[in-house]
Structure 1
């Protein structure tokens, strides 16, 4: 095949995506801590916290009209956390390790363009993110009797929050991969950041139980809005009274996720190198 007939960067992306997906599922620790970990957390939390939550009377020991099981209320936040793990944690650690073990330098010596490389990573994140989300929802329905929405409007909200949230998480993961000073330190640098965000963003601690000051700090970052958007899609409308300001704030969710998508894209472009900074 002559050089003029070689596929372009976008044409090569499909092959690269398939390669990245195969590599992802061959790494047992990555699959556990980014793909299966949210399912494990949902199972643990739903088994431990067996009460019910009413928007008017608060926590209940027994089911009541309008009350949700704790599994139902935890579900949106854990879906959101899964997207953060798939994008930020997965890519930040993976790319940092590729950078410091020399793989990126070798790729930089091939005809592959950075665009093809990025599309491969983004495609892998979206495909595994969809699979992970489907698994979390299936476990919630089949094991914990969670009832999912049946109206199109809720699933439309779910779709745009999912796409924007996962895209923002992915580009932020690429940008964050420049932070670790070595491949070995990548997990030690990235995981605490992701863990803190989950605690202050209403994933492990119920969002309405967090002090306003903590919620205000969390609102600077995308996970709080991603979780809020998922709650607006997966929970009944009357649960909005438990949100800060008693509103789902779809406009703010859209604006913040778009802003972080732009910021992450710019940072990823500015910081990405085929070789180590000290090479």
Structure 2
């Protein structure tokens, strides 16, 4: 005769509760997915990432030494401007188009219904923007240094200026890109609605020519947007000090650059909170 001993509570192990991935881990995974998708999409890769460097090589070769100052070439001015445009392209243009497409093809709606922290989606987008922006800026600087004699910053202050212009410009344009993704009413119009204003602002903001050569009323128009201030900050970093005479104010106005970009960071965040939707308008 056998005796069955009662089980004690300590003999029964409770099934471990599975731990959900943290928001940070999910954001990293989303970032990796976003990067793979970006570099695998030839259209995005060429237009947003490769085109600025190609334009810098072509336009820089044609601009020659037309800058009006000894020791400063048009290609060097163009390099500083294209760095600012590259920052805006990999943030504002890239995000605006992608988010619009994902909203209208139902991707955002599906993600909204998943048990995923909302911050993970935006974290993934920010990781993609950061990696692409740094790669874009490094590529443009390399082209400028090797082909057009652009000098790298030589002082700590110049590197600090480069850093905060890059950070504030990237943050403000990222927020604006997220907000702009709500403007297109269909997938067909996403590219035009986002890219056309970006091109117009580029021509007004001293990207391709010295800002002092831009007509006065367009200078006022450009001063509304962050790209003008990004290009101005980058010119202060990559151009010799005597190039400051090409600025309409006769100064780099770095405190004003910081104030304008900081203001756009705040305004961009407000616009994101007010305009972002997980579904298209016709979905209700």
1:134 equivalenced with 2:159 (yes/no): no
Among candidates 237, 256, 259, match of residue 255 of structure 1: 259
* Aligned twin of 1:219: 223
Is the partner of 1:220 in helix, strand or coil? coil
Q: Hey, what's the Cα distance between the residues in 1 that align with 2:213 and 2:78?
A: 13
C-alpha contact (below 8 Å) 2:106/2:279 kept by paired residues: yes
TM alignment of 1:1-279, pairs within 5 A = 2=17, 5-53=19-67, 58=68, 64=70, 67-279=71-283
**Structure 1: unaligned runs, 5 residues or longer:** none
Q: TM-score, normalised on structure 1?
A: 0.92
C-alpha contact (below 8 Å) 2:96/2:194 kept by paired residues: yes
Q: Hey, what's the Cα distance between the residues in 2 that align with 1:82 and 1:210?
A: 20
| Larger Rg, first or second structure (1 or 2) | 2
Q: TM-score, normalised on structure 2?
A: 0.91
Aligned length: 268
Residues 210-246 of structure 1, C-alpha deviation per residue, up to 9 Å, x if partnerless? 1222111111111000110111111111211111211
> What's the Cα RMSD here?
1.4
C-alpha contact (below 8 Å) 2:94/2:177 kept by paired residues: yes
User: Could you tell which deviates more after superposition, 37-46 or 144-153?
Assistant: 144-153
Question: 1:52 offset after TM fit, Å?
Answer: 4.5
Q: Hey, what's the Cα distance between the residues in 1 that align with 2:138 and 2:209?
A: 23
Q: Hey, what's the Cα distance between the residues in 2 that align with 1:252 and 1:91?
A: 27
Is the partner of 1:68 in helix, strand or coil? coil
